[in-house]
């Protein structure tokens, strides 16, 4: 079976945009507002000849209400089925309470985690990644899912971790 890479994080951090970047096509659905369901969440992907599945967990955000209470269940299900977790945080917003919630769960899990600081669209915003050390998941990998910045380096890290 192909290794499964789950992209997790709270709504609007750019998970679907990142999944699109990884796939090199606009397959996942990107919405301005959080809470959008989609037909497919699992996509075959390839980088440097290695094949894997990318799981966009955004479909599970459809009940924005009660999210804080539900987030652990949802993330646990995604993490349990994954060989690697790509945990996306919006670097322009910083770590919020729900990000901390994810981080706690991921630190306890035995699945390897790559912390991604998304929306680092330019050099000036690189400094924002340092604020994410507090999540206790090591150094964040800065990317701009929108512009593709850093995504190649991230995929190198994904392959190395699989
Ligand atoms: P999701 O809810 O985590 O799947 O987030 P989406 O991929 O739907 O993106 C939410 C919003 O953030 C959209 O308006 C995206 O265009 C925007 N976004 C995603 N990635 C980036 C990025 O790298 N830079 C900027 N500036 N905006 C981004
Ligand atoms: Mg999404």
So what's the ipTM on this one?
Answer: 0.99
d(CA 72, CA 104): 10
Number of domains composing the chain: 1
- The CATH number for 58's domain is 3.40.50.300
- Annotated binding residues for GTP, written as ranges, equal 9-16, 56-60, 118-121
Q: Which domain holds residue 32?
A: 4-161
Give the distance (Å) from ligand 1 centre to CA of residue 1: 30
What's the DSSP call for residue 162? -
106-146 pLDDT, tens per residue?
A: 999 889 999 999 999 999 998 889 999 999 999 999 999 99
Helix, strand counts (H, E) of the chain: 4, 6
For the chain, residues with pLDDT lower than 70 are 25-40, 58-75
39 lines ligand 1 (CB under 6 A): no
Angle between helix axes 15-23 and 151-161 (nearest 10 degrees) is: 80
- Put residue 159 in one of left, alpha, beta given phi > 0 → left and psi -120 to 50 → alpha: alpha
Q: Is the CB of 35 under 6 A from ligand 1?
A: no
């Amino acid at each position: 079976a192909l290794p499964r890479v789950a992209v997790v994080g709270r709504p609007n951090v750019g998970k679907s945009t990142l999944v699109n970047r990884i796939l090199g096509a606009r397959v996942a659905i990107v919405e301005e507002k959080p809470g959008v369901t989609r037909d497919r969440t699992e996509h075959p992907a390839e980088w440097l000849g290695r094949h894997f599945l990318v799981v966009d967990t955004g479909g599970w955000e459809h009940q924005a209400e009660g999210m804080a209470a539900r987030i652990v269940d949802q993330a646990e299900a995604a993490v349990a089925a994954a060989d690697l977790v790509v945990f996306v945080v919006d670097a322009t917003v910083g770590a919020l309470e729900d990000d901390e919630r994810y981080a706690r769960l991921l630190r306890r899990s035995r699945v390897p985690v790559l912390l991604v600081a998304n929306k680092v669209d330019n050099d000036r915003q690189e400094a924002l990644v340092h604020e994410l050390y507090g999540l206790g998941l090591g150094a964040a990998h800065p990317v701009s899912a929108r512009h593709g910045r850093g995504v190649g380096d991230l995929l190198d890290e994904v392959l190395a971790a699989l």
